[in-house]
Every structure is written in C-alpha cells, then in structure tokens.
Amino acid sequence: MSAIESALNWLDSLLGSAAWFPFVLLGVGLFFTVYLGFPQIRYFRHATQVLRGKHTRAGAPGDASHFQALSTALSGTVGTGNIGGVAFAIYLGGPAALFWMWMTAVVGMTTKFAEVTISHKYRVTDDAGLMAGGPMYYMERGLGMKWLAVAFALATVISSFGSGNLPQSNNIAAGVEASFGIPTWVTGGVLAIVLGLVIVGGIHRIAAVAGTLVPFMGIFYALAAVSVAISNAENILPSLQRIVFDVFNGSSAAGGFLGATFAYAFNRGVNRGLFSNEAGQGSAPIAHAAARADEPVSEGMVAILEPFIDTIVICTLTGLVILSSGVWTQKFANDFAPFDTEIVQGSYTEANPRHVRELFAHLDLIPPADDPVQPFTGSIDVVDGELRTGDITILHNRSIAEQVRVLQGGMPFTGTLAVVDGKPVTEGVSLRGHSLLHSVPLTAEAFKRSFLGEFGQYAVTLGLVLFAFSTAIAWSYYGDRAITYLFGVRAVMPYRMLYVTGFFLATVVDTGLVWLISAVTLALMTLPNLLGLMLMRREIKDTVNDYWRRYHDK
C-alpha cells in the first residue's frame, strides 16, 4: 500500500496537483468564454427553453429527452463532490477554496457548452441501435486523431472507477456506518446489487431513474442545507466576507486549521471544482449524446445549466453550512486513517506561531527543501493505550492530533509501536484521537450545528446515498460507452460486472487513498479533452454561428 500511495502521489503531483493544471483548466474555459462571446450569460435563458422542449422537433433521433440527458449528466456530477468534495476543499484550502470552485463553475459553463456541442455533432449509432457519443468520436471523426480518441476512451474507463465508482461507494458506506452503525460491507453489498439491477437496463433505465432521482434529491438537500444555514444566519455574511478576503491572501491559521496559501487554495479549489461539476473532463458529452435532438448546439445549451446547478447552487449551500457552523477549524474524536496520519520528530503546538508555519510548509503542495519537520522512525513505548515517548508529534488530517490513544482490537494497547518514515507499521494496531475532519464527516458535523441537532447527520447521510448512488449509475454509462468505442458492445456486460464488483470492494478502502485515486484519474481524462477542444475551436464557433443564423431565419 505504501508503494501504491507513493506512486499515486507522484502521478498526482505531475497532473491534478501540479501548479500548471488549474491554469490550463481555467485557461481553456476563459478562452472559450471570450471566443464564443460569453455564452454562459447570453444563452442561459435560451438553454432553459430548450430544456423545456420548446425548440425540439418531434421524432428527432436519440434515446432520451433533453431533461433526462441533463438529469443523467447531473447525476454524474451531483455526488460526493457536493457533500464531501466541498468539505475536502475547505479542509485543504480554507474559505478561499470555495471561491475558486465558483470560478471553475463560471468558466466551466462555457467549457460544457463547447464540449457537448462538438461531441453531439459527431455522435454515432452503435451495433445495438443506441446513440454513442463523447469526445472520442469528435477526436477520431473530426480531428482524425485516433490515438487521442483511444487515449481518452481508456482514461474514461479508468476514471469511471476512479471518479464515479470508488469515491461514491466509499463515502456512502462510511456515512451510513457513522450514522446508523451498519458495517460498510453490508451497505456495499446491498447497493451493489441495486446498482447492478439498474445499469443492466442500459441508458433507458438509467435515464428513467436519473430523471426521477435527481430533481427529488436536489430539492431535498437544498431545503435541508438552507434550514441549517438559517440556524447560523449571523455567521453567513462573515463567512462570505472571509471567502472573498482570503482569495488573494490565503487563509490564516484558525483553531486546528494550520492555514493555506493562495496557491494551495487556488489549486485545491479548482481541483475540487472540476471533481464536482466535471467541466472539461469530457464526461457530460457522453450523457448528452443520448438526447433526442437534431441540433448539436441546442444540446450544448442544456449543458450550460449543469455547473450552475451543481456548483453555484448546491456546492455553495454546502460551503456556507460548513463555514457558518465553524466546524472546519475544530477537532473531533475520530479513528485515524493510516493514509492521513504522520508521526514527526519533535514536539509541536498550535500556540507557537513558528511551529504552525513550519507544519503548514511541511504539508504544502511542495515542502521546502530544508524542511525542519522530519518523519519519525523508531519505536514508541505504549502503556494502556498511552504513548510514553514525548519528543514526537502526531499529525492527522493536516492538524496536530490530541488525546491520541493506541488501540488493538478496540482495546487499549500495551507494548511497542514501530514507526517507519512517519507511518505506524505494527500489525493490528490503530490510533484514535481528536483532529480536524474532512469530506462527509465534516459536512455531517456542520449539519448537526443547527436546530436539527444529531438528526442533521441523517439528512447528510440520506443526501449522500442519493447523490453518490446516482453518480455511480451515470458513470457506469460513461464507462460502457467508452468500452463500446474500444471493444464493441460485446465487452459491455463484462465491464458492468467488474464495475459492480469495484463498487462493493471500495467500501472497505481507505477514504484518503480513494480521493487520491480520484484526483489522478480525473486529470488523465481532462487533459486529452481540453487539447481536443482547442484543436476544434474554429469548428465549434462555426457550428454555433450557423445555429443562430438558421434560428433567426425561421
């Protein structure tokens, strides 16, 4: 596991967490925003009309309505990113990370418009008589770059597990266990069976489920989040002010939060924004390819609405709940995940400003070359669960852990705890204590800070189950369209079986590791699509101009 973690961290440092990645993602979105004349503003009203079927010809080719295609695409984006991803971004980058999620959504509305338009133009009918589309088709048929199409399709298959499968089931199982005490494998097993029953029916069943589930879950979660925010109404304005004030200055240390630089908040906000709304990733065009429409541009119009609903509305509600409740700077009792735990040499405290600066630098995207914070290697004496070696500090979830206990089989451990390069390696031993939270547990704590009290976590859990499960359904469709492109329809059923198996197995994997896998696979899919869009920029613009020319001539 250590080797896998190191390899994934290395890949992530080259891709999604690299300093250049947010600039590429936002840069392409900004380019198309200017190049196409701010379509996210000018075409917004027209997009709502298309969604309602106002400009759709009866009998247009396709397998789903505009609304069902939008719901399928939204079910792929409205998932753990809206509940756990926002919390993860704030945990890493502070309040400013939410601002960069907004910016990703604003320019992402244009990116979605461009990628769906050109992909819809080059969609085809597969051997089973169903519509097949996505960036791989415009890459091959429009650009004549088969190699790029194959690379994107392979990345889509991999990302269907990394983005749509593993994070969703892992977070569902963790949330259900925390709220109801149901073992993760039980939740995984039950939902894996239901998932299999849905996806075996293909796009018709997926679209029907998404069209019913997405509106219900969106309204339910929005009402719950607004109710919680009202309970902390006095903190909403200060939270909004801090989001804006921290944008270019970074977030200072507060409570257990060690602070975040501008670069860190920018990188993590953009990264989590992409995970949430998937603008530029190339996934949404696969769902929209099934829509009944003669005009590629009209389906691109519908896609404009996705980042707005997903990030501007739903993610903002989650962010305000977390910030206004204040839980993002507080430590809570939790079991320490090995992936998020490091034991370092020396005794550090939050009361010492120098210690805070050194620890944050150590945890930054690129630690300093002369980093004074060094991982501990050696043995620690433990008596009745208490560590007796004093000159060490345990970091968990990017915070200084407190009241740490060493357990074995749930009971206090007595003996020697072996540590290698900052990681405990004694078999069967676990750590529990107080530290910052991230992902779904952080959002659940925020929902509890309202008139809902302990019942707040149940609202989060229900929202999580609905959001994440619908995402897993949508991504199974993305993966099977990519498999169809690569190997034909005969390979779809084996892929679906593997997908359901992965959904079950992910319930017992370390959450931090799952997020890392997600970050890597997300970038692998995004980069080929952004390259393809830039190469197709003139055709995209000509297609849009031709649509409006014919529209005004009617």
Domain boundary among 435, 466, 490: 435
Q: Do both 292 and 349 map to the same domain?
A: no
- Each residue's pLDDT, cut to its tens digit, for the chain (554 residues) gives 567 767 777 887 777 677 788 888 889 999 999 999 999 999 999 989 888 777 666 666 666 777 777 777 777 667 667 887 888 889 888 898 899 989 889 999 999 999 999 999 999 887 778 788 899 999 999 999 999 999 999 999 988 888 788 878 887 887 788 788 888 889 989 999 998 988 887 767 777 777 777 788 888 888 888 988 899 999 999 999 999 899 888 888 888 898 887 777 887 778 777 767 788 889 889 988 888 888 899 889 989 998 998 889 988 999 999 999 999 999 999 999 888 899 999 999 999 999 999 999 998 877 888 999 999 999 999 999 999 877 999 999 999 999 999 999 989 999 999 999 999 999 999 999 999 998 888 998 999 988 888 888 888 888 888 888 888 888 888 898 999 999 988 999 999 999 999 899 888 766 566 667 777 777 888 899 999 999 999 999 999 999 999 887 76
Q: Do both 317 and 355 map to the same domain?
A: no
The per-residue DSSP string of 116-143 comes to: HHHHHHT-EE-TTS-EE-SHHHIIIIIS
Return the structure tokens found at 93: 């980058």
Q: Phi, psi (5° rounding) for residue 417?
A: -95, 115
In DSSP terms, 131 is beta-bridged to: 125
Q: Do both 426 and 313 map to the same domain?
A: no
Q: Kindly state whether residue 242 falls inside one of the protein's structural domains.
A: yes
How many angstroms separate the Cα of 439 from the Cα of each of 143, 174, 185, 290, 478?
40, 10, 20, 33, 25
Specify the pLDDT at position 342: 95
CB contact set of 75 (below 8 Å; sequence gap of 6+): 210, 213, 214, 470, 471, 473, 474
Q: Do both 385 and 342 map to the same domain?
A: yes
Specify the pLDDT at position 146: 96
Q: Kindly state whether residue 292 falls inside one of the protein's structural domains.
A: yes
Domain boundary among 405, 435, 465: 435
Number of residues in the chain: 554
Q: Do both 282 and 137 map to the same domain?
A: yes
Kindly state the DSSP code that residue 250 receives in the 8-state scheme: -
Q: Do both 284 and 345 map to the same domain?
A: no
Range of the domain at 351: 334-435
Identify the CATH number of the domain in which residue 541 sits.
1.20.1740.10
Distance, CA of 393 to CA of 376 (rounded, Å)? 9
Distance, CA of 473 to CA of 500 (rounded, Å)? 10
Distance, CA of 195 to CA of 205 (rounded, Å)? 11
In DSSP terms, 341 is beta-bridged to: 396
Q: Phi, psi (5° rounding) for residue 403?
A: 50, 45
Q: Do both 31 and 154 map to the same domain?
A: yes
How many angstroms separate the Cα of 144 from the Cα of each of 119, 393, 481, 484, 532?
14, 56, 20, 19, 11
Q: Do both 308 and 374 map to the same domain?
A: no
Is residue 409 classed as helix, strand or coil in its secondary structure?
A: coil
Specify the pLDDT at position 506: 83
Question: Angle 503-506-510 (CA atoms, 0-180°, nearest 5)?
Answer: 165
Question: Angle 93-89-344 (CA atoms, 0-180°, nearest 5)?
Answer: 60
Specify the pLDDT at position 117: 95
How many angstroms separate the Cα of 506 from the Cα of each of 118, 335, 473, 475, 515?
34, 18, 15, 15, 11
Q: Do both 74 and 143 map to the same domain?
A: yes
Q: Kindly state whether residue 6 falls inside one of the protein's structural domains.
A: no
Closest CA to 358 of 391, 366, 368: 368
Per the prediction, the chain carries an average pLDDT of 87
Domain boundary among 383, 408, 435: 435
Q: What pTM did the predictor assign?
A: 0.83
Q: Kindly state whether residue 185 falls inside one of the protein's structural domains.
A: yes
| CA Rg value for the chain | 23
Q: Kindly state whether residue 525 falls inside one of the protein's structural domains.
A: yes
Specify the pLDDT at position 153: 94
Q: Do both 206 and 177 map to the same domain?
A: yes
Return the structure tokens found at 245: 């004030």
Q: Kindly state whether residue 8 falls inside one of the protein's structural domains.
A: no
Specify the pLDDT at position 63: 62
Q: Do both 416 and 506 map to the same domain?
A: no
Query: How many separate domains does the chain show?
Result: 2
Specify the pLDDT at position 554: 64
Q: Kindly state whether residue 430 falls inside one of the protein's structural domains.
A: yes
Q: Kindly state whether residue 13 falls inside one of the protein's structural domains.
A: no
Q: Do both 115 and 259 map to the same domain?
A: yes
